[in-house]
Structures are given as C-alpha cells and as structure tokens.
C-alpha cells in the first residue's frame, strides 16, 4: 500500500453512499475513516477525491396557486430540497465492491448513508 497519495478525481462518474465509520457511530467528523459502497470495479483508485453530500430534507410547498388561493395550502405536497455538500472524502484503500477513505473536510454534520459523488 502506498504511503503517499496524489489527489485526483475519479475517471468515471461515482454515485455511492457512506456505509460505516471506523468508530461505529452515525455522526462523522473531519479526519475519520469511513467505508463507502463503491470500489475498484466501479472505477475508484487510491487518491480519488469525492464530495460528500447530505440528503436534502422535505418541506411542504405552501405557495398559493390558482383559483383557490389559500385553500390550496390544505392539499400542499411535500417537495424534496436538493442535496447539500457537507464535506470532502479521499479514498486510500479499494477492494472490488467497497473502499476505505478519510473525511478530509467537514463543513457540516456528515452521517452514515450520506452520498459520495464526483465533486
């Protein structure tokens, strides 16, 4: 295993999730080791850098629409907010289906099941 890494972007599009953290907790911080569900068969290599994205929440769409005005709020649907970038992840060890990596930067709370994608 190499002792130094050259940060690079993956050569292919990566869409994965954080599956576990080394300490067995669900909230992850900077410089913690995590496991993701993408590996060498998906095109990852040591040194690849990915963005970490927190899942967007749901809110009720209460914008008044059409003839009913305020009545439309009663039937308002939930809409999903976009995913928000919360950190940076670098791969240091790959296997066929999983990879180990380090959270290099955490701008907000990172959780197990958060997304990892090309930055």
pLDDT at 89 over 60: yes
What is the pTM for the complete model shown? 0.81
> How far is residue 86's CA from residue 53's CA, in Å, rounded to a whole number?
5
Per the prediction, the chain carries an average pLDDT of 87
pLDDT score for 73 = 55
> How far is residue 10's CA from residue 112's CA, in Å, rounded to a whole number?
22
91-117 tens-digit pLDDT: 999 999 999 999 999 999 999 999 999
How far, CA to CA in Å, does 41 sit from each of 11, 23, 37, 91, 102? 12, 26, 11, 14, 20
Q: Where are the alpha helices (H) located in the chain, listed in sequence order? A: none
**CA angle, 81 as apex, 12 and 31 as ends, to 5°?**
55
Residue 61 binned pLDDT confidence (cut-offs 50, 70, 90): confident
Nearest to 3 by CA among 89, 100, 91, 92: 92
Domains and CATH numbers, the chain: 15-54+84-117 (2.40.10)
Beta bridge partners of 74: none
Around Cβ 37, how many Cβ atoms within 10 Å? 15
Residue 69 binned pLDDT confidence (cut-offs 50, 70, 90): low
Query: Which tokens hold the place of 79?
Result: 């809409």
pLDDT at 66 over 70: no
pLDDT score for 57 = 86
For tokens 């749901």, name the residue. 58
């Amino acid at each position: 295993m190499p002792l130094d890494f050259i940060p690079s972007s993956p050569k292919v599009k990566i869409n994965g999730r954080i599956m576990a953290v080394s300490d067995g907790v669900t909230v992850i911080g900077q410089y913690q080791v995590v496991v993701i569900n993408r590996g060498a068969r998906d095109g990852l290599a040591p040194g690849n850098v990915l963005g970490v994205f927190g899942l967007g929440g749901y809110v009720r769409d209460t914008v008044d629409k059409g003839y009913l005005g305020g009545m439309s709020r009663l039937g308002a649907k939930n809409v999903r907010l976009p995913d928000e970038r919360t950190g940076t992840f670098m791969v240091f060890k790959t296997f066929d289906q999983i990879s180990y990596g380090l959270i290099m930067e955490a701008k907000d709370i990172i959780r197990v099941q958060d997304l990892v994608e090309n930055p």
